[in-house]
Structure 1
Amino acid sequence: MPDHRAVPARADCVLRALVDRHAAEMPDKPFVVLQDGGRLTYGALRDEVRSAARGLQDLGVSQGDPVLVWLPNGIDGLRLWFAINYIGAVYVPINTAYRGGILEHVVRNSGAKLMIAHGGLVERLAGTDTAALETLVVLHGSPAPVGGLAVLPAERLVGAGDVLPLERPIEPWDTQSIIYTSGTTGPSKGVLSSYAHLFAMGNALIADGEGVPFLGRDDCFMVNLPMFHVGGTAPSYAMLVKGGAIALLEAFDTASFWTTVKETGTTSVILLGVMATFLVKQPAIPGERETPLKHVIIIPLTAEGVAFRERFGTDTHTLFNMSEVSCPLIAELNPAVVATCGRPRKGVEVRLVDAHDCAVAPGEIGELIIRTDSPWALNHGYNGDAAATARAWRNGWFHTGDAFRIDGAGNYFFVDRFKDSIRRRGENVSSFEVEMEVCSHAAIREAAAVAVPSQFGEDDILVAVSLVEAQSFDPAELLAFLTPRMAHFMVPRYIRVVDELPKTPTRKVEKYLIRQQGVTEDTWDREAAGIVVKREKLTS
């Protein structure tokens, strides 16, 4: 068992050491498995990474320099991430959906002089203030002039000769990456992550709350979440640490999911948001339990997530994580309590506090704050934003900005982002809990609950929903479904059907847009329909 109070050794957590060791010990073992049947062994990975690393050095990249990578999931993106870290530079991925102001903000905030981008994205840089950026290397496309940048072909990333010596050894506490948050309420923040932080996150992702791993060298983790997100980087790093494999996909696809699991030998996967719901709501197919998939990490744990195990015969896991932390809450194997995030894992201390960092009373909702036994197991700030860093890291704890509650058994439950809280009829309502119940209806694919102004003060509740394909839908029927399942003050007044919920480039719902639109002409109003939901009267 690892000592959770110590910083991991270089040989155990620094990417360069891991790549070199695995290539020496098992050069013919696959690290990457592709949908088309392609394989990349540890030996070949090291050769490609070292070639690209020398190419980066020839372009002037030095240890500690940030390098922007604007590529979709694939071998190129993985190879360049590893090459950047191999020479001790800082990997700074950009969401492939970014454009306009958010793209300009990330480029400027990163301070990078070099960007590596897919040819299909480069035109978005036109008219953008690229700040310190000097050089652009284009993959999968012909280089074309972009402002005052030196635009180079992909061949420049193939170095001739061995990797040049580093100024000093790469340390566990060195900055490994800058991952940008979604920025739903303001500019995206660049999370500073060390090798020790990513190591802690990856290890916790594939282990129980005591730190005992459920995956190892013989496993293959399907990576269908983007590499510009910890959902893609953490499992990739976890399997690198273990000497296992990843099945690298560009994105999640419901229709091809089970075929891909079988063809790639996938034994584990993260199902984020509604992915598990999509799969559970698909018609049954022959042999759907006869796959190599053994472990599924479902975040958040919905009713469909609980049903996933019974239908598909896998073990299920759930946890709470964000870019800044390292899976501080982990549930027991095969959790049955819907919406639980689990309990603090070994080596992590958490508290629920009020606005002044004082602990809330048992049963009350408070902000989750975190600290760890091991140095560097959490983020070390926000890039170029000292004020945001100070706000998050006050009084010696990292403040998540998330509201949680704890039950009598010690299970933690995510309630809401504080900015999304709803106050109705003197009660605090969790938009997350409303959405969980709404999504239990067979016709609902996704839901977002928001507060809208009430004529009586405080809030009324509006739920925007998108529908499962080919499902009929009656708002009054949904209301009848919800009324016995939730407290009367949680039952929505307004229901609005949309084709798709608005989302950030990292696929988080932009609730502020739904709030801004408010009660539109096509919104159904239960009070206008003559439906009244009242508190149940009890007799003594």
Structure 2
Amino acid sequence: MTDSWFGEIIHRNARQNADGLAFVEGGRSLTHAAYLARAEALAAALRARGIARMDRVALLSMNRIEYMEVCGACELTGFIAATVNFRLSAHELRVQLRDCAPAAIFFESSYTSLIEEIRADLPSIGTWICFDDGPDWAEPYEEVMSAAAGQVPDVASTIEDIAYLVYTSGSTGRPKGCILGSRELTRKAEQHASDLGITSDDRLLIVMPLFHVGARGVSSAGQWRGAAVHIQRSFDPAAFIRTVEAERISIAHLAPTMVQMVVEHPLAATADFSSLRAILYSAAAMPGEVLRKALELFGPVFHQAYGQTEGIVSCLPRHHHKPNGSEQEKARLLSVGQPYPGVEVMLVDDAGRDVTHGGTGEIVYRGGAMFRGYWNDSVATLAAWRDGWLHSGDIGRFDADGFLYIVDRKKDMIVTGGENVASREVEDALLRHPQVAEAAVIGVPHSKWGETVHAVVVLRDGATLGETEIIEHCRLFLASFKKPTGVSFVEALPKLANGKVDKLSLRQRWSAEGSMA
């Protein structure tokens, strides 16, 4: 087990590669030495405002260099960085911030009206700092930094600390805060860095949101080896292509739908992608035709990672090179790979019996890069951790060579455009409408987003709601990407013998009717 952690890594990079680029965003950049200095100054400023070790520091922002400076300040001191999905509704944001009870929050001015809607409901927050031109009740970020320039914090992190709180998509209702430790996150960075072969000469491109564990994990892998991490505010295929060419990006992290958007962009046909030697994708399987075109464009550079916010399980490195090969080779493209070194994976049936060899069962796993439990939720923690194994909620099988395949989701989760959407959470929002009697939410195939959210609704007697009204109602409680893109009205939902909704039959019907829209 490593004896390093990210507080130490920031210092190490500043010693060993002081003038090397640490972060680049737009026309701005920071060397490793400058990153340490600014992260220390910010940490000292927070200490002066009464922030203590293990206090939560929330982040509500799109990707930017300042985001990484806040992360660095937390990693140096033992503050817990609580990353927030900036696409949440006011209702969702209120629930999450009240759960983690941060002492401070950093935000972009574009979210001011969202925060003002719920600010009175967040008594734990005593420090409000805005990255840009913000309201008069928030301190300007650069003024805070300037006043603390040259200062260092009087506390330091340890490898045993909690480093981050990252919230899941709430497969069983309310999203849960995954407790991610410094030791385990460092181990994950090592795994990614080893698999991708990262060195200090590499240039990584991060376009997925840093509040996700995936983007933060890949950027951490770059930091682990002292590489340059290029950050884009958000994903845009043209900007991605131009940045790869101009900055000679060697490693990128994308969701499958992003790969498709790059492949189909007019600039791609004449772009120079020769610097790219690895593209890590995750969140969902890559459609076969998209992967074939991507291999033609980029070459054999693809790595697929399978894991969850709670832990990382496997990766499929460089087996993505024969989309027109043998039947076995084509089938293997649908695998999520083989377990990482140090990660044990087992398949179990509903009774907990081992069916790993030749059977199909729930994927359970354990290793050195796991979460420590759910914040404020010991019941959910005990349900996830059973007999020393983390239960993934996914159904899988192994082939004869030890490659893992996802067969189905035990958890009722939809993956749309790289984002996880819990059906239960959408159903809860639908049922808040007084004219909705019953509701079931499923994912239906979509050519661009992989899946989209579809609601099947039973109205109360005499109700006259339409699709638009249903969708607009959901906007009140859900982030935009979670709301249904389509609504079907039925007289009754199909039920199983145990009284549960038969979602398999719903998926079969509406996948056939609206397949790959």
TM range (shorter): 0.7 to 0.9
Matched, 1:250 2:233: yes
The verdict on how the C-alpha distance between 1:44 and 1:160 changes in structure 2, with shifts beyond 3 A counting, is closer
- How many residue pairs get aligned? The number is 442
Match of 2:258 among 264, 267, 275: 275
Q: Distance in 2 between matches of 1:230 and 1:505?
A: 24
Matched, 1:463 2:439: no
- Name the residue aligned to 1:341: 336
- Name the residue aligned to 1:98: 88
> How far did residue 106 of structure 1 move?
1.1
Letter in 1 for 2:87: A
Q: Distance in 2 between matches of 1:203 and 1:262?
A: 27
- Name the residue aligned to 1:378: 370
Letter in 1 for 2:188: M
> How far did residue 462 of structure 1 move?
8.1
Query: The residue matched to 1:256 in structure 2 has which SS?
Result: helix
Matched-pair contact (CA < 8 Å) for 1:217–1:242: yes
Matched-pair contact (CA < 8 Å) for 1:315–1:334: no
Consecutive unaligned residues of structure 2, counting only runs of 5 or more, are: 323-331, 424-439, 450-470, 492-506
Q: Distance in 1 between matches of 2:22 and 2:478?
A: 26
> How far did residue 229 of structure 1 move?
0.6
The structure with more radius of gyration: 1
Query: The residue matched to 1:405 in structure 2 has which SS?
Result: strand
Match of 1:22 among 13, 34, 43: 13
Alignment of 1:85-484 (within 5 A): 85-128=75-118, 129-145=121-137, 151-154=138-141, 155-158=143-146, 159-160=148-149, 162-166=151-155, 170-208=157-195, 214-283=197-266, 285=268, 287-299=270-282, 300-303=285-288, 304-326=290-312, 328-335=313-320, 336=322, 337-360=332-355, 362-372=357-367, 374=368, 377-420=369-412, 463=444, 465=446
Deviations 1:215-255 (A, max 9, x none): 21110111111111112211111111101111111111112
Matched-pair contact (CA < 8 Å) for 1:51–1:160: yes
- Name the residue aligned to 2:464: none
> How far did residue 363 of structure 1 move?
4.6
Q: Distance in 2 between matches of 1:323 and 1:503?
A: 25
> How far did residue 273 of structure 1 move?
3.1
Matched-pair contact (CA < 8 Å) for 1:464–1:514: no
> How far did residue 504 of structure 1 move?
13
Q: Which moved more, 1:271-280 or 1:155-164?
A: 155-164
The verdict on how the C-alpha distance between 1:508 and 1:278 changes in structure 2, with shifts beyond 3 A counting, is farther
Q: Distance in 1 between matches of 2:509 and 2:262?
A: 35
Q: Distance in 2 between matches of 1:239 and 1:463?
A: 36
Letter in 1 for 2:214: G
Letter in 2 for 1:324: E
Q: Distance in 2 between matches of 1:70 and 1:293?
A: 31
Matched-pair contact (CA < 8 Å) for 2:23–2:31: yes
Aligned residues with identical type, % of pairs: 24
> How far did residue 127 of structure 1 move?
4.2
Q: CA RMSD in A?
A: 3.7
> How far did residue 104 of structure 1 move?
0.9
> How far did residue 466 of structure 1 move?
5.8
The verdict on how the C-alpha distance between 1:348 and 1:176 changes in structure 2, with shifts beyond 3 A counting, is same
Q: Distance in 1 between matches of 2:477 and 2:233?
A: 15
- Name the residue aligned to 1:481: none
Matched-pair contact (CA < 8 Å) for 1:56–1:84: no
Deviations 1:417-441 (A, max 9, x none): 21349xxxxxxxxx99xx9xxx9xx
- Name the residue aligned to 1:79: 69
Q: Distance in 2 between matches of 1:275 and 1:17?
A: 34
> How far did residue 171 of structure 1 move?
2.3
> How far did residue 162 of structure 1 move?
2.5
The verdict on how the C-alpha distance between 1:160 and 1:257 changes in structure 2, with shifts beyond 3 A counting, is closer
Letter in 2 for 1:409: D
The verdict on how the C-alpha distance between 1:26 and 1:77 changes in structure 2, with shifts beyond 3 A counting, is same
Letter in 2 for 1:465: H
Query: The residue matched to 1:163 in structure 2 has which SS?
Result: coil
Matched-pair contact (CA < 8 Å) for 1:224–1:250: yes
Deviations 1:338-376 (A, max 9, x none): 22100112111111112332123755431111112x4xx
The verdict on how the C-alpha distance between 1:301 and 1:506 changes in structure 2, with shifts beyond 3 A counting, is farther
> How far did residue 411 of structure 1 move?
1.3
The verdict on how the C-alpha distance between 1:227 and 1:285 changes in structure 2, with shifts beyond 3 A counting, is closer
Matched-pair contact (CA < 8 Å) for 1:111–1:132: yes
The verdict on how the C-alpha distance between 1:420 and 1:516 changes in structure 2, with shifts beyond 3 A counting, is farther
State the TM-score, normalizing by the size of structure 2. 0.76
Q: Which moved more, 1:216-225 or 1:300-309?
A: 300-309
Q: Which moved more, 1:72-81 or 1:358-367?
A: 358-367
Q: Distance in 1 between matches of 2:405 and 2:26?
A: 36
Q: Distance in 2 between matches of 1:270 and 1:507?
A: 23
Letter in 1 for 2:83: P
Deviations 1:413-471 (A, max 9, x none): 123321349xxxxxxxxx99xx9xxx9xxxxx99x9x9xxxxxxxx9x98353669xxx
Name whichever structure is richer in helix by fraction.
2
Matched-pair contact (CA < 8 Å) for 1:293–1:314: no
> How far did residue 157 of structure 1 move?
4.3
Letter in 2 for 1:463: V
The verdict on how the C-alpha distance between 1:241 and 1:73 changes in structure 2, with shifts beyond 3 A counting, is same
Matched-pair contact (CA < 8 Å) for 2:365–2:390: yes
> How far did residue 160 of structure 1 move?
5.0
Q: Distance in 1 between matches of 2:37 and 2:84?
A: 25
- Name the residue aligned to 1:478: none
The verdict on how the C-alpha distance between 1:378 and 1:238 changes in structure 2, with shifts beyond 3 A counting, is same
- Name the residue aligned to 1:472: none
State the TM-score, normalizing by the size of structure 1. 0.73
Letter in 2 for 1:28: D
Q: Distance in 2 between matches of 1:289 and 1:109?
A: 46
> How far did residue 137 of structure 1 move?
1.7
Q: Distance in 2 between matches of 1:179 and 1:45?
A: 23
Matched-pair contact (CA < 8 Å) for 2:37–2:150: no
Matched-pair contact (CA < 8 Å) for 1:269–1:296: yes
Letter in 1 for 2:275: P
The verdict on how the C-alpha distance between 1:361 and 1:296 changes in structure 2, with shifts beyond 3 A counting, is closer
Q: Distance in 2 between matches of 1:71 and 1:247?
A: 17
Matched-pair contact (CA < 8 Å) for 2:23–2:29: yes
Deviations 1:278-336 (A, max 9, x none): 2233457554354311111133333122442232235221120211103x212242334
Deviations 1:133-188 (A, max 9, x none): 2232222123245xxxxx4332234415522322xx53222101001112254111
> How far did residue 388 of structure 1 move?
0.8
Q: Distance in 1 between matches of 2:268 and 2:486?
A: 40
> How far did residue 503 of structure 1 move?
11
Query: The residue matched to 2:387 in structure 1 has which SS?
Result: coil
Matched-pair contact (CA < 8 Å) for 1:69–1:93: yes
Consecutive unaligned residues of structure 1, counting only runs of 5 or more, are: 1-5, 146-150, 422-430, 440-444, 451-458, 469-498, 532-540
